[in-house]
Structure 1
Amino acid sequence: MFRRTMIIGTALSTGLSLAVLPATPAVSQDSPWRVVASGLDSPRGLAFGPNGTLYVAEAGVGGTSPCLPHPLGQICYGATGAVTEVKRGHQTRVLTGLPSFALQGTPEVFGPSDVALNGSGNLYVTLGLGDDPTLRTALPPEGQTAATLVRAKPSKGTFRLVADIGGFELSDNPDGGLPDSNPQGLLSTAGGQVVADAGGNSLLGVRQPGRISTLAVFPPRLVPNPFGGPDIPMQAVPTTVTRGPDGALYVGQLTGFPFPVGGANVYRVEPGGQPEVVASGFTNIIDIAFGPDHSLYVLEIAHNGLLSGDTTGALIRVDANGSRTVIASEGLMMPTGLALRDGKAYVSNCGVCADIGEVIAIPLSGQASR
């Protein structure tokens, strides 16, 4: 049952509800943080273009039809996913009509998950699903692009399929579990794209024209059962991938149920090798990035755990010597995306909020822990 990779859906069923989400994100006027984009629908991954343009994946708000069965109720489709561009202070939705799925009765939404640009400035987008890819056959044609990687042309508002991640999960199923695909983290490299499939517990390489290969599989591990009894298997749920200063791939994990506090790891992945834990003790990692000084920044969607009922996230810096500093926490509410540029951390805040999600800029130099 808990194979499904809901970011907060399972947590919602055990106590986290819409009642704990404020009407607006909690960035005060006297805060050193700056809001660079607002009015977003479930903002997720972030990426900067070579000219400083910021792109934001918006998971959308789902829709009303069709509604499909889900382990926690119904998930309803709508073409409400989008990509927003922030250029010279102006905010514009440059890509709309992308597939979006809302878990009824909760803020949980699956849709556009991450964005990345290659060296030529081409924009790529992962489109999430969070379920068995065979369910796509019940969707209209535009909805069947869920669980895929697409290449977008923001200037024209169009996109085209690059790789069917969900189809690869059905044909190859790298982790051998129940079919489930939720393409999340995305990295563009000289050799193609790298996708973290949170549903498939896998890291995938994509080369043109749409050739997919398995780079790594993240197995489950046994953890204490919060309700007592013997230990239970916990899915890995890799949510983010980046390139490290040493050239290797680094992957952060959300973890599956029971989302234990301190149970999330950062893995180092070399081609052909097994994932190696290089940093542990985090809680529900949603994104990671390396700074110019080789410090690792880790974004937690729920600092006290997804089952705590507390929506406070955290941005943590890990120095090269292993020391850790909480750069920001209070004021981060279910943060879901991270990008670093010009001495600032750009964070998607209120990543499960319709119409009030935002992107904030947090100064990193001289920033006191909050």
Structure 2
Amino acid sequence: MTEVKMPQLSGIEVLASGLDSPRKLSFGMDGALYVAEAGRGGTGASIPSPSVPGASVFYGATGAITRIQNGNVERVVTGLPSLALPNGSDAAGVSDIEFDANGNAYAIVGLASNPANRDTVLQVPDFSQLIAIDSFENGGSWTRLRDFGAYEQANNPDGQNVDTNLYDLLINDNTAYVVDAGANDLLSLQAFSSEVNLEAVFPARDVTNPFTGEAIVQQSVPTAAAIGLDGALYVSELTGFPFQAGTAQIYRLNAEEQPEVYAGGFTNVVDLAFDQSGGLYVLEYDANGLLNEGDAGALIYLSPDGQTRTTIAGDELINPTGLEIGANGDIYISNKGFVAGQGEVLRLSLEQETCFNQATVNGAAEHWSGLFSRSHLLGDQGAFDYVYNTGGDLDPSMSVVSR
């Protein structure tokens, strides 16, 4: 009987350091790895901090997109908007970069506030936008494509406070999916048109405030989207206050595009990615919960049927924020994402150790309705090649160069 092996960590390399609040990352068709840096804020206009009561976050054009290629690390797009505490931590800014099947680059810019604050206080329209990266030369240039802050202001699908914080971008065929962590929803644009479609709202739940004992509403705070081998969308959540350990879930959107729990028992999840067997990598920002001591995250692997899991990395990760799978199965992680000037990109080398039975994989095919081939799933062989067949030759000896 054939056995399929679970991955285990065999080594970690630091590919880049000195980054300002790195977030999600993605391989381009040139084989380079591109990293979104939320920045360090600045000394400009301020709005209330979304996470520190009584504090303010200040604007500065310190966000960036960094390229890692052939032994070099270079900030190729600079001057993107950023908000952060005075010490540069807890930043909101560019949070993800993705490429379409033709190699065109797109990014999303977060806000973590009511879009009215963007318009009347900050007066920086690039926040809460999907943007097209027009050039990576001479500091880069970009064009605003869609104002998701305006959508939240006009619609507020979850019925909670009006709030937007674009956090994850997924491009599949000719559709862009945007996870809005502030609005608790998943939105899409067909053919990058001007019309925003609501894919799903992620449910709040009733919990107890650990400090007062009162019943409160905990928001979902979705953080990432990925497409499984069944063609369905899977979405992770951070969970809102009080951020309890073991309560974050992975949702699967069913045929009616309603979120159903696929797997639970996670803590403060910020990213996820499927491998070629249908196994799921889940990245936790803080494995103990945000209100508890320690900053260690975790990378967890969930078997293709969702029944078996193993922790690949724990204490090696400090507040990780982004996850990408390389050509040879290596894992690339944005690490130390909370503070400015200390962010890293790590490459995790894996080996296959702990075994589970091939019947597990066969069961996954039954568990997921309609197992598609990848080229059909992504609607484009070039898109498949881009996601799975790039970026295997990065040099670990690198330093950051700004321009």
The alignment's TM-score, normalised by the length of structure 1, stands at 0.87
Deviation by residue 1:247-304 (Cα, 9 ceiling, x = unmatched)? 1111000000000100100001146421011000000000000011111000000000
The answer (yes or no) to whether the contact 2:20–2:340 under 8 Å persists in 1 is yes
The answer (yes or no) to whether the contact 1:343–1:365 under 8 Å persists in 2 is no
2:173 is aligned to 190
Does structure 1 residue 63 correspond to structure 2 residue 36? no
Amino acid at match of 1:360: L
2:347 is aligned to 361
| Structure ID, larger Rg | 2
Deviation by residue 1:196-236 (Cα, 9 ceiling, x = unmatched)? 00000000001323321100001210123212524321000
Amino acid at match of 2:236: G
Amino acid at match of 2:228: G
Does structure 1 residue 110 correspond to structure 2 residue 69? no
User: Secondary structure at the residue paired with 1:111?
Assistant: strand
1:149 is aligned to 130
Does structure 1 residue 296 correspond to structure 2 residue 280? yes
What fraction of aligned residue pairs are identical, expressed as a percent? 44
Q: Distance in 2 between matches of 1:267 and 1:296?
A: 12
- Over 3 Å counting, the alpha-carbon distance change for 1:270 and 1:193 in structure 2 is farther
- RMSD, aligned α-carbons: 1.7
Structure 1 residue 126, shift from structure 2 partner: 1.0
- 1:306 is aligned, of 290, 294, 306, to 290
Q: Which moved more, 1:347-356 or 1:220-229?
A: 220-229
Deviation by residue 1:63-116 (Cα, 9 ceiling, x = unmatched)? 111112346221110010010011222111111111100134672110111111
What are the ranges of 5 or more consecutive residues in structure 2 without an aligned counterpart? 1-9, 355-403
User: Secondary structure at the residue paired with 1:134?
Assistant: helix
Amino acid at match of 2:351: S
Q: Which moved more, 1:168-177 or 1:280-289?
A: 168-177
The answer (yes or no) to whether the contact 2:108–2:167 under 8 Å persists in 1 is yes
The alignment's TM-score, normalised by the length of structure 2, stands at 0.80
- Over 3 Å counting, the alpha-carbon distance change for 1:123 and 1:367 in structure 2 is farther
1:5 is aligned to none
Q: Distance in 2 between matches of 1:33 and 1:154?
A: 32
Amino acid at match of 2:165: N
Q: Distance in 1 between matches of 2:61 and 2:120?
A: 14
1:79 is aligned to 61
User: Secondary structure at the residue paired with 1:145?
Assistant: coil
What are the ranges of 5 or more consecutive residues in structure 1 without an aligned counterpart? 1-30
- Over 3 Å counting, the alpha-carbon distance change for 1:163 and 1:329 in structure 2 is same
1:237 is aligned to 221
- Over 3 Å counting, the alpha-carbon distance change for 1:154 and 1:37 in structure 2 is farther
- 2:103 is aligned, of 103, 112, 121, to 121
1:6 is aligned to none
Q: Distance in 1 between matches of 2:90 and 2:136?
A: 30
Amino acid at match of 1:331: E
Deviation by residue 1:123-180 (Cα, 9 ceiling, x = unmatched)? 1111010000011124566x22101111113434111111111110001111111110
Superposed, 1:139-178 pairs within 5 Å as: 143-156=124-137, 157-178=140-161
Deviation by residue 1:14-72 (Cα, 9 ceiling, x = unmatched)? xxxxxxxxxxxxxxxxx821111222101000111123210100000001111123462
Q: Distance in 2 between matches of 1:105 and 1:40?
A: 14
The answer (yes or no) to whether the contact 1:215–1:272 under 8 Å persists in 2 is no
Q: Distance in 2 between matches of 1:66 and 1:309?
A: 32
1:19 is aligned to none
The answer (yes or no) to whether the contact 2:46–2:122 under 8 Å persists in 1 is no
Structure 1 residue 244, shift from structure 2 partner: 1.1
1:223 is aligned to 207
2:331 is aligned to 345
- Over 3 Å counting, the alpha-carbon distance change for 1:335 and 1:194 in structure 2 is same
Amino acid at match of 1:180: D
The answer (yes or no) to whether the contact 2:153–2:162 under 8 Å persists in 1 is yes
The answer (yes or no) to whether the contact 2:42–2:88 under 8 Å persists in 1 is no
